[in-house]
Structure 1
């Protein structure tokens, strides 16, 4: 079967509508396709020098091409050009230190790097033994052999994204042409994307959220994508205030920064522009209910929350209709997505597309369950981890991908995430606790600006529940252990109350705004905590 992604791009390839708008101007679908074909042609023409013996004159045959290109039309044309040449795109962040870039390039077996002029210095430390090709040089390249595009198959790998590495070194997840096309079509239908939309894009492009959920969905729907160089709260607020975009995708930290910009009085016209948005989504981390409610107060609707991860794409989503959304919940399985909840005893319940909301069948046998580890199955689930057959095998059971997230399902069919089985599910004093639930309660405290709840190894408790807090300016004393515990005891069961509170200037986050809890656990355990700032070590 031919690649549905390539087929859809061919349908859009002659359109005069705007595909990408960046700080250099607008690029139509026709112009973007022409540029992508020139990238393809240049890669194939260079194959004998850079790709080694694995490439043919008409296909890169799965060669991994590293992308170090600033966000914008040039990035999109480079990305699509790699895919149209039969290669695998590996987008990486220019913010990575040289040692990390070198490790990732080596792990992926990269022989060639596509680089934008602005990032040539970033590529220099990892260029030894590799070909570095300037995207700007491809404007004069030939488009490549005709007719070979139909040879790209649906199950050919297209994209390599490295996981965050919370359980060790990052692993490269391979996504196929089918994975990308299925995911884009699911979200187009579920979220109502069309050629009349304009998406504001300020997400990192080396993560699933930025490159697949946002960019690929918008492109394949025929929508325009307004791409910013990076997230900047003042710039994003101004773009939304202009009223020219209809959709915005973000992570919770972005919403937090936007509200801080509003509170400083630096977002004139933002409220009216935000109310004009057809769609605002949140993902990559749990959206605090307080932020969801503040967005609702501003716009009339809470952001659409969904659940996704590199290996599965978006599997669960709240409805497009704001009336059907529920703060703190990630909604229902999308069409083609099967969901399963498995408890520690091996009991499981499964839900297929179209199952009635109240059904909780115990399909493999045993008792029906509504709380446990979430497993996902469907055509958007990834191909496997590059070069890690053992890790791939361990990630699946009976065809199901084990997400490592603990979830519960309500009687009306909605799913809610309780946290990762590793860092967000704490075992303290014989109790199994949800760090996310405790965090949500603590965010009601007016002196707490940000909070992460973690479990620190403890001989007496197994894990000691610790709240790591960023205090509001001038209110640090209220966040100390004594006052915070007294406040929390009125709102949480005794065994859920943090035994310790540590005030820090900031929380460590990855590129998608997720708090890197393993770093906190390691630092606090090493310092002995005792109320000390682990970041001061």
Structure 2
């Protein structure tokens, strides 16, 4: 991971991180990370891929701890700061963590491990003792670096092990594709136990020698206030954040709206990912900011693989084209490449693909084809050279009456209805049809579902029209804003 640390060595005075209005230089980051690495090592010369779980709030301490783990030769296991204890316990015990490092806010929830003899429990509140400088281990790119857990929307979460080389490939690909530079200044609003926050925002900005400001917890008004300071020029978020920012914008005065829009128009890059971006949100944000959001496609297992272009046409509803160094193919159920224009499963190959599912050799073997392609389970089609996601085979592709129906396509149409704020479409088991198309709707108005069905049939074929509806106050979502479809099915 030497390339990630290069800016800290070469430009120690440059501001790397801002959190809670305090600025930290690259030199301070490197000093703190080195001290943590030395402390973690103790009498050892190398942690030799020991798993180190850490639960630390987003900001300077989080990055220093993560860097320190890598520098000491450990495997970083970020723990979600909003998870209940059973979910944390699952990750800690599944990885067999040897060390837990915890920030003061999370000591209570992880207290059961504080006197557990098999785990070294380190409290940041107690301070990291300063020890004599020492030679840190040389880290081979093929060694394990990080374990992130899948969102678990379809099964128990699996630990995705990436190597130092994998992470370097994921970062360098985005540095090239999205033209990161040391002049950039971004904000991080995203959870730091997922690729989007860790790799796309934090690691890319620090690799490039840019500055990243952490805003935690998320507050739409504070985000706009930070934007108005005039430093931020790169912004990445999930669709739910853009939705909340739009709501905040609409509550502002006309004068304030004009000022915010003028400022947003000066940004270099705005990206949306981690969940499908409704075209309606993209269009509204373009009206506000002057930016057509760059949509991209990635997973915990592969980092980012497909992206709309930095320069060139960005198409609403499309994830773009393969990123540099990433091989992509679409195949049918027999693993045969489909003809151009036909839907197929996205499969990925390249140096940015993960090494294995931690402790799950069978799941790892089942995730790859015999010739080494990772099977994403996502169905897409290529139209005019741009990939368009139809959905996840297990949850978004509904097999009804002999048809394969994209739930995402129906959701996009439903969101254009003036009375519908949000929606989720699923397939429900049915003896006659195989699966029935069902839609959960969020609305502030009383909806007449018969009228809605009539409205839909003017826009989509009858076989795609939902047969069942459910009205909800909100949809079940995970930490990255994705609708948890299995939970949604249970609500029916």
Q: Same fold (TM over 0.5)?
A: yes
1:229 aligns with 2:216: yes
Q: Distance in 2 between matches of 1:42 and 1:347?
A: 52
Alignment partner, residue 403 of structure 2: 431
| Distance change in 2, residues 1:12/1:143 (3 Å) | farther
Note if 1:302 corresponds to 2:298: no
- Corresponding residue for residue 383 of structure 2: 410
Q: How many pairs were matched up?
A: 485
Instruction: Give the corresponding residue for 1:215.
Output: 202
1:495 to 446, 451, 463: 463
Q: Secondary structure at the match of 2:282?
A: helix
Residue 102 of structure 1: aligned partner: 89
- Name 1:352's counterpart in structure 2: none
CA distance in structure 2 between the aligned counterparts of 1:496 and 1:177, rounded to whole angstroms? 45
Written as runs of structure 1 = structure 2, the 5 A alignment for 1:378-397 is: 378-397=350-369
Relative contact order higher in (CA < 8 Å, ≥ 6 apart) = 2
Residues of 2 paired with 1:238 and 1:317: CA distance? 29
Distance 2:314 2:340 in 1: 26
Q: What's 1:185 paired with?
A: 172
1:343 aligns with 2:332: yes
Q: Distance in 1 between matches of 2:204 and 2:282?
A: 24
SS of 1:121 mapped into structure 2: coil
Asked whether 1:276 is paired with 2:266, we answer yes
Aligned residue in 2 for 1:21: 18
In structure 2, the CA distance between the partners of 1:214 and 1:143, relative to structure 1 (3 Å rule), is: farther
Which residue of structure 1 aligns with residue 373 of structure 2?
A: 400
Which stretch has the larger CA shift, 418-427 or 175-184? 175-184
8 A Cα contact 1:60 1:85, kept in partner: yes
2:391 matched to which residue of 1? 419
Shift of 1:487: 1.1
Are 1:84 and 2:71 matched, yes or no? yes
Looking at structure 1, the residues matched to 113 and 401 of structure 2 have their Cα atoms a distance apart, in angstroms, of: 49
* CA drift at 1:231: 2.1
Q: Which of 142, 153, 157 pairs up with 2:140?
A: 153
Aligned partner (choices 12, 27, 35) of residue 8 of structure 2: 12
Distance 1:8 1:520 in 2: 40
Per the TM alignment, residue 136 of structure 1 is displaced from its structure 2 partner at its CA by 4.7
CA distance in structure 1 between the partners assigned to 2:125 and 2:355 by the alignment? 32
Q: Deviations over 1:205-224 (max 9, x none)?
A: 01111111211111111110
Aligned counterparts of 2:282 and 2:35: Cα–Cα separation in 1 = 44
Deviation at 1:496, TM superposition (A): 0.7
Give how far 1:125 is off. 3.2
Alpha-carbon RMSD: 1.6
For residue 49 of structure 2, what is the aligned residue in structure 1? 62
Equivalent pair of 1:78/1:135 in contact (CA under 8 Å): no
Looking at structure 2, the residues matched to 160 and 371 of structure 1 have their Cα atoms a distance apart, in angstroms, of 32
CA contact (8 A) 1:68 1:114 kept: yes
| Contact 2:341-2:383 within 8 A present in 1 as well | no
- Is the 1:481–1:502 contact (alpha carbons within 8 Å) kept by the matching residues of 2? no
Unmatched tracts of structure 1, length 5 or more: 48-56, 350-366, 525-537
- What SS is found at the alignment partner of 2:281? helix
Correspondence for 1:460 among 432, 439, 444: 432
Task: Give deviations 1:23-66, integer Å, cap 9, x for gaps.
Answer: 05111111100000000011001x6xxxxxxxxx2210001111
Where does structure 1 differ by over 3 angstroms across 4 or more consecutive aligned residues? 125-128, 136-140, 266-269, 367-370
